[in-house]
Amino acid sequence: MSARLAPLVTIHVQTQAHATFTEKSLHALLCDQFRSNTSYVASLESDNVKIFNSKTWNLVQTIPGKASLFHFLNKNDAIVGVDTVIKVWSIRHQLFMKTMYTTIDCGEASYFREGTLIIHVDSQIDALNTSTGVLYTKELEHSIEHVCIRNQQLITAHANNFLYVWTLSLEPIRTIKTPLQVVSYISPWFEDKLLLTDSRNTTVIIFDCNTETVCQEIDREIALTRQFGDKFVVKENLGPISVWTRDLESVNIVAIPSNASFYFYNPFSVLGKQLLYVPMHEVGHSILVYDLDTLEMVQEVKTNSLQVFT
């Protein structure tokens, strides 16, 4: 249908033909449609979190207060954590809508995927369902090196050669033996496989959990990965950021020096075909925007970012 607001101004709205609108309800509908096409970038800073429009890089809003954890839940909401308190921030209403709690400080290692927030330290792990607010907590037998979530299952890596598979409520499912001495990093890979790394031997393998076999192997040490399309952006420990194909071939390298440890931080994110990077050799820095096809810097966003999220 169409709604005429003024002479020569016609707005077409995708809705049922019998729907009628007041000026207020039409304005709300149009705002919702605009928001559904808007994506955001968050910059976690020393005393607040700034939300930017990802296309224009205009500052949309500022979430006040220091935060040690941040993740987008969806296009309209995000979680912000400090100490053991997790709050849901509504971008639309610009206020906190819900409060949840963990037993582990938000400043420890965290991982968010499929609506579940994982926080872990030593052998203690929290799994928070951000939809229901229900917290599951467990003391595991071994100290946790890294975690990932794949197909609604949690996988934990420890200082041994085993992977442990759990439900998102921390009920055990199975144990998987790997050929690595220590699994120090774990990430979902293509075709339902996992990328595993052993930092002690600088070995990276692509591992099939179903058959418990190694599909590919390369001598590298990885600190962080992000997928985009049919490639991965990879941060090598004490090395460059590069773009890898599924064959573990490096096709491009970002020429930015950095020797920082990335385990507790989120120094880069991928947005479409752009890499957003915060150099960690300085405290508080601009967000550098790179084209992932050419890996040339196309923009510098002036802010005091510590971590960046999409």
**Report for 70-84, 212-226, 234-248: range of highest mean pLDDT:** 70-84
Per-residue confidence (pLDDT) for residue 250, from 0 to 100: 75
Percent of the chain clearing pLDDT 90 (strictly above): 45
83-87, 189-193, 224-228: range with lowest mean pLDDT:
224-228
Residue/partner pairs of 166-169 with CB below 8 Å, 24 or more apart:
168/114, 168/116, 168/127, 168/129, 168/136, 169/127, 169/129, 169/136
Q: Determine whether 162 is exposed, middle or buried from the number of CB atoms within 10 Å of its CB (0-12, 13-18, 19+).
A: middle
In Å, how far from its chain's centre is CA 6? 44
Label residue 67 by pLDDT band (50, 70, 90).
Answer: very high
**Report for 166-170, 209-213, 306-310: range of highest mean pLDDT:** 166-170
- Phi/psi at 68 (5° precision): -110, -5
Percent of the chain clearing pLDDT 70 (strictly above): 80
Read off the pLDDT of residues 180-208 as tens digits, 9 standing for 90 and up: 888 888 888 888 899 998 877 678 899 99
Per-residue confidence (pLDDT) for residue 1, from 0 to 100: 47
Pairing mode, strands 250-254 and 307-309: unpaired
Reply yes or no on whether the pLDDT at 229 is more than 80: no
Average pLDDT, the chain: 83
Read off the pLDDT of residues 155-182 as tens digits, 9 standing for 90 and up: 999 888 899 999 999 999 999 999 988 8
Distance CA 178, CA 175 (A): 10
Label residue 14 by pLDDT band (50, 70, 90).
Answer: low
